[in-house]
């Protein structure tokens, strides 16, 4: 740089996984472009399809494991997604459990304490986010990136 500081670029592959319609596409859109799609068609997703899955996970060093705090079923799927992740990628992949749609306070079905407890049991980072109102979205990605960087350096 102009003031003589050394900088380096890094490229880390981070995957977003979780049930369909939990907000994976919108978390990425919010983080990457500061955009939100109120009626986005939910992604067909990787949804336990082995052929697509291995390619998606290959080389991933970070993962956002996303559920929707207003749909308990998506929280109960987290165990399956963790198995899926560990089957297809390195055991050391830096993983954060993300309870998305924290703006939906009146229809919350999963408490913050439950999310935290699961994350602790599984050795994951934990955060609640809203792709709609932007809260904690950058922090979710940054937590993963910082930890990957710390491990590598």
Chain residues binding ligand GDP by CB under 6 A are 20-26, 37-40, 42-43, 45, 100-101, 103-104, 130-132
**Residue 57 C-beta: closest distance to ligand GDP, Å:** 16
**Residue 128 C-beta: closest distance to ligand GDP, Å:** 10
Q: What is the CA radius of gyration of the chain?
A: 16
CB-based contact 112:99 (threshold 8 Å): yes
> Which residue sits closest to ligand GDP, CB atoms considered?
23
**Residue 95 C-beta: closest distance to ligand GDP, Å:** 17
- In this complex, which beta carbon is closest to ligand GDP, that of residue 24 or of residue 88? 24
- In this complex, which beta carbon is closest to ligand GDP, that of residue 112 or of residue 149? 112
CB-based contact 131:27 (threshold 8 Å): yes
Alpha-carbon distances of 148 from 14, 71, 120, 122, rounded to whole Å: 10, 30, 19, 18
């Amino acid at each position: 740089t102009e003031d003589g500081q050394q900088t380096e670029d890094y490229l880390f592959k981070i995957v977003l996984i979780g049930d369909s319609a939990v907000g994976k596409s919108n978390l990425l859109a919010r983080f990457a472009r500061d955009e939100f799609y109120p009626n986005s068609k939910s992604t067909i997703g990787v949804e336990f399809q082995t052929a697509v899955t291995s390619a998606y996970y290959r080389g991933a060093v970070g993962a956002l494991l996303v559920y929707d705090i207003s749909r308990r079923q998506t929280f109960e799927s987290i165990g399956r997604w963790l198995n899926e992740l560990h089957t297809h990628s390195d055991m050391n992949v830096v993983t954060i459990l993300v309870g998305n749609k924290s703006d939906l306070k009146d229809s919350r079905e999963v408490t913050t304490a439950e999310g935290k407890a699961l994350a602790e049991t599984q050795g994951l980072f934990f955060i609640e986010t809203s792709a709609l109102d932007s809260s904690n979205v950058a922090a979710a990605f940054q937590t993963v990136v910082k930890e990957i960087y710390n491990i590598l350096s």
